């Protein structure tokens, strides 16, 4: 059996794993390889040919005026994808690129950062119950995150983070890293939620919950729907109830119904009355009407008030997406009986659905730029932090605009669907490798103690192997 001698290998110092790589082989991360005795980055440097998120920061004394062209279509924007990393900390960033934009010398510093402190925030557009708040989210049985507070029309997950990547077992760290990598690269990942549902998540695609693909994100809560469409129902139904897991709306009690002079009907709803026409907790959480656990909407009704209700009363019940609806008329005993709805009334359910947006999964990468990243930009890392907070330096991730959190450090969040394909990698420490770019004026870069001796013209960086993305 032929064995590769240690002296025939080269040591990769791109991450803390420090692989020894034989000729023609790649390291554990599949990002670096030994090519003829030289360490090479396997993925090409990626450049966005049209557009970009780095807008010149122009002020007095620059000698040029910005013409309002945010796209800056005439210039390439060098991303950090394929650039390489700054590990260990003392290294300058792999590429520090200069170019003139509208008469202003700009510098973009690009680095593929090694993020142990990172994760994703996932927004799932659905009314369906996927699990209780704080429930553990698992992949292949390993805990990778938890359910966060719900937002309007969406459920939220927080996945990853240093406690799952490095604070648990080796298996938990590996599974978490793999799940984050796939989600950030817009690949599907199936998660299971304790005491909840199985959810297939893919950035930019509809969520699939317990095998059911969602199509619509609700137009609003039950009360909001009443407010939006009350006038549409006037004269078509005597009472309208919009069933919702959070706030169920009742037309005749609601302020919208009162302003339209729609008389009370005596139709009474279970649950906790909040304000007129708004009810909490009409049913349990579930996958039925409006995110409740009911399939029969009449289950949320009490007996009608005989002092106000009348035989023949027209009752229309609908969900917050318009996907479920039912029309009933009260019989002589004031019990709702299914009846044939008018075409106009049926159209009102379709109108609700028309005003719903497509249900999607949104995945936002979130990470903290630590020592390696900042030291790769400047010899005085805190100056970079201050420059970012002072809006002198623009932060992007793979060319996508990044939101920088207030407070200390450089904590960023970016939409993974706005980045080129395969923007993320990993190292088996485990940690994600994510692109991050810092763009500023050349004079500001020098002022913050940047590695000015490493600046290269953009023309020197581009090569036939460069991957070019048009935006």
Residue 59 pLDDT greater than 70, yes or no: no
Q: With cut-offs at 50, 70 and 90, classify the pLDDT of residue 65.
A: low
d(CA 350, CA 325): 10
Q: How far apart are the first and last CA of the chain?
A: 51
d(CA 6, CA 204): 46
Residue 3 pLDDT greater than 60, yes or no: no
d(CA 420, CA 398): 7
Predicted local distance difference test score (pLDDT) of residue 50: 62
Share of the chain above pLDDT 70, in %: 93
d(CA 35, CA 290): 58
DSSP element (H, E) containing 412: strand 410-415
Residue 75 pLDDT greater than 80, yes or no: no
The domain locations on the chain are 1-42, 44-115+370-415+429-470, 132-212, 222-358
Residue 28 pLDDT greater than 70, yes or no: yes
Residue 63 pLDDT greater than 70, yes or no: no
pLDDT digits (tens, 9 = 90+) for 279-331: 999 999 988 999 999 999 999 999 999 999 999 999 999 999 999 999 999 99
Query: Tokens 């990002």 label which residue?
Result: 31
Predicted local distance difference test score (pLDDT) of residue 42: 80
Predicted local distance difference test score (pLDDT) of residue 314: 98
Predicted local distance difference test score (pLDDT) of residue 263: 96
Q: Is the dihedral of CA 84, 85, 90, 93 positive or negative?
A: positive
Predicted TM-score (pTM) of this structure: 0.88
Predicted local distance difference test score (pLDDT) of residue 6: 55
> Which neighbouring-strand residues pair with 136?
146
3-state DSSP assignment of residue 423: coil
d(CA 122, CA 365): 9
Residue 345 pLDDT greater than 50, yes or no: yes
Residue 264 pLDDT greater than 60, yes or no: yes
Strands 410-415 and 361-369: antiparallel
Predicted local distance difference test score (pLDDT) of residue 237: 97
Lowest-confidence range among 73-87, 168-182, 225-239, 256-270?
73-87
Average pLDDT over residues 111-117: 91
Residue 58 pLDDT greater than 60, yes or no: no
d(CA 374, CA 82): 19
Predicted local distance difference test score (pLDDT) of residue 74: 53
Average pLDDT over residues 245-266: 96
Predicted local distance difference test score (pLDDT) of residue 56: 45
3-state DSSP assignment of residue 446: helix
Cβ atoms of residues 220 and 320 within 8 Å: yes
Q: With cut-offs at 50, 70 and 90, classify the pLDDT of residue 71.
A: very low
Query: Tokens 């390439």 label which residue?
Result: 76
pLDDT digits (tens, 9 = 90+) for 427-462: 988 999 999 999 999 999 999 999 999 999 998 888
3-state DSSP assignment of residue 32: strand
Predicted local distance difference test score (pLDDT) of residue 55: 42
Strands 455-457 and 95-101: parallel
């Amino acid at each position: 059996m032929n064995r590769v001698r240690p002296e025939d290998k080269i040591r990769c110092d791109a991450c803390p794993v420090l692989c020894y790589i034989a000729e023609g082989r790649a390291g554990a991360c599949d990002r670096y390889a030994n090519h003829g005795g030289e360490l090479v980055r396997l993925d090409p440097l990626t450049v966005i040919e049209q557009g970009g998120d780095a807008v010149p920061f122009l002020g007095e004394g620059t000698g040029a005026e910005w013409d309002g062209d945010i796209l800056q279509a005439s210039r390439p924007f060098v991303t950090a994808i394929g650039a390489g990393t700054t590990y260990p900390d003392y290294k300058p960033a792999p590429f520090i690129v200069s170019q003139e934009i509208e008469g202003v010398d700009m510098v973009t510093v690009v680095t593929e950062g090694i993020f142990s402190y990172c994760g994703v925030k996932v927004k799932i557009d659905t009314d369906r119950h996927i699990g209780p708040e704080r429930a553990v989210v698992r992949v292949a049985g390993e805990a990778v995150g938890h359910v966060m507070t719900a937002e309007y029309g969406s459920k939220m997950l927080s996945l990853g983070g240093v406690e799952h990547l490095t604070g648990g077992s080796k298996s938990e760290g590996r599974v978490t890293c793999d799940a984050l990598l796939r989600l950030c690269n817009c690949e599907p990942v199936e998660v299971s939620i304790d005491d909840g549902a199985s959810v297939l998540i893919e950035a930019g695609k509809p969520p699939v919950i317990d095998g059911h693909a969602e199509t619509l994100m609700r137009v609003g809560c039950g009360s909001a729907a009443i407010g939006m469409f009350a006038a549409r129902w006037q004269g078509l139904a005597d009472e309208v109830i919009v069933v919702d897991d959070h706030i169920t709306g009742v037309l005749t009690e609601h302020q919208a119904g009162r302003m339209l002079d729609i008389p009370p009907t005596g139709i009474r709803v279970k649950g906790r009355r909040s304000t007129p026409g708004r009810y909490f907790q009409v049913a349990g959480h579930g996958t039925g009407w409006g995110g409740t656990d009911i399939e029969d909407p009449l289950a949320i009704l009490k007996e009608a008030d005989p002092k106000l209700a009348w035989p023949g009363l027209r009752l229309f019940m609908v969900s917050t997406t318009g996907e479920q609806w039912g029309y009933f008329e009260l019989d002589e005993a004031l019990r709702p009986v299914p009846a044939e709805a008018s075409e106009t009334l049926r159209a009102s359910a379709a109108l609700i659905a028309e005003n719903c947006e497509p249900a999607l999964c949104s995945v936002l990468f979130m990470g903290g730029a630590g020592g390696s990243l900042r030291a790769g930009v400047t010899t005085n890392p805190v100056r970079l932090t201050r420059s970012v907070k002072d809006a002198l330096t623009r932060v992007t991730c793979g060319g996508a605009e990044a939101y920088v959190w207030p407070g200390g450090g450089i904590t960023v969040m970016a939409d993974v669907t706005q980045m080129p394909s395969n923007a993320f990698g990993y190292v088996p420490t485990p940690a994600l490798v994510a692109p991050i770019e810092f763009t500023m004026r050349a004079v500001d870069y020098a002022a913050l103690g940047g590695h000015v001796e490493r600046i290269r013209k953009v023309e020197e960086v581009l090569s036939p192997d460069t991957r070019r993305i048009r935006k």
